[in-house]
């Protein structure tokens, strides 16, 4: 499987964020997207996830299930944790596994260390625990392409190490990761794509 971007362009609010962007990513590879604030890192991930319209160029996932779009084969983890505070930890993850496809919610909660808090309303979680609950979606439902925007935000050192293990296991299994970050993410072999400043 290979993700290809050719002359990719993005506009937000009538302003060009980036243009002429080219990259490719194979199964088992990670791409680290870097750049200053406003360079378009989040916009690129949202564009791949189908949340922002492509204004130019092309984006293709070769060797994939042809009946599924790129967003349907992706996990997108943005800045917002997308949790409902009145639902329990388990109910939040079950909602996402039902929405995204068949998954293993309890095993995923155990993987991120939240199984003991399954019945606790998500509103009572700390910022780091909410982030770990969002990350549990990655472990619960298998999708080949992970799009991660500052995934280590609010995570302590131990949780960052666990996220690194989860990402490396995904790559070892033939998955792909595009991650935007200002700092290290535990993927030393990731290729780098640096975006320039917004015009």
CA distance 23 to 6: 7
Q: How confident is the model at residue 38 (pLDDT cuts 50, 70, 90)?
A: confident
Q: Has residue 94 been placed in a domain?
A: yes
Assign residue 82 the CATH number of its domain. 3.40.50.300
Report yes or no: 130 and 159 within 8 Å, Cβ to Cβ. no
Query: In the numeric block, which tokens belong to residue 53?
Result: 């319209």
Show the tokens assigned to 181: 């970050």
For residue 199, is it within any domain? no
Residue 87 belongs to a domain:
yes
List pLDDT tens digits, range 96-153.
Answer: 898 887 778 999 999 999 999 999 999 999 999 999 999 999 999 999 999 999 999 8
d(CA 53, CA 17): 12
Residues of the domain holding 122: 2-194
pLDDT of 198 above 60: no
Q: Does the residue 92 lie in any domain?
A: yes
Convert the pLDDT of each residue in 81-100 to its tens digit. 889 999 999 999 999 898 88
**pTM, rounded to two decimals:** 0.92
Range scoring the smallest mean pLDDT among 3-12, 36-45, 62-71: 62-71
In a domain, 189, yes or no: yes
Total number of domains constituting the chain? 1
Q: How far apart are the first and last CA of the chain?
A: 33
Confirm if 88 and 124 have CB atoms less than 8 A apart: no
């Amino acid at each position: 499987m290979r993700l290809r971007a050719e002359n990719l362009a993005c506009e937000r609010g009538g302003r060009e964020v980036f243009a002429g962007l080219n990259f490719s990513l194979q199964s088992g590879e990670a791409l680290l997207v870097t750049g200053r604030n406003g360079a378009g890192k989040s916009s690129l991930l949202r564009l791949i996830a189908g949340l922002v319209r492509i204004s130019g160029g092309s984006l293709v996932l070769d060797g994939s299930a042809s009946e599924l779009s790129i967003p349907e084969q992706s996990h997108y983890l943005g800045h917002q944790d997308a949790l409902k505070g009145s639902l329990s930890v388990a109910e939040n993850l079950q909602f996402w596994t039902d929405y995204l496809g068949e998954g293993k919610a309890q095993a995923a909660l155990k993987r991120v260390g939240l199984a003991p808090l399954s019945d606790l309303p998500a509103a009572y979680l700390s910022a780091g625990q909410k982030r770990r609950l969002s990350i549990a979606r990655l472990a619960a439902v298998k999708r080949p392409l992970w799009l991660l925007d500052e995934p280590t935000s609010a995570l302590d050192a131990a949780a960052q190490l666990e996220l690194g293990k989860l990402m490396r296991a995904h790559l070892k299994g033939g998955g792909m990761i595009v991650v935007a970050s200002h700092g290290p993410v535990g993927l030393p072999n990731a290729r780098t794509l640096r975006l320039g400043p917004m015009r």
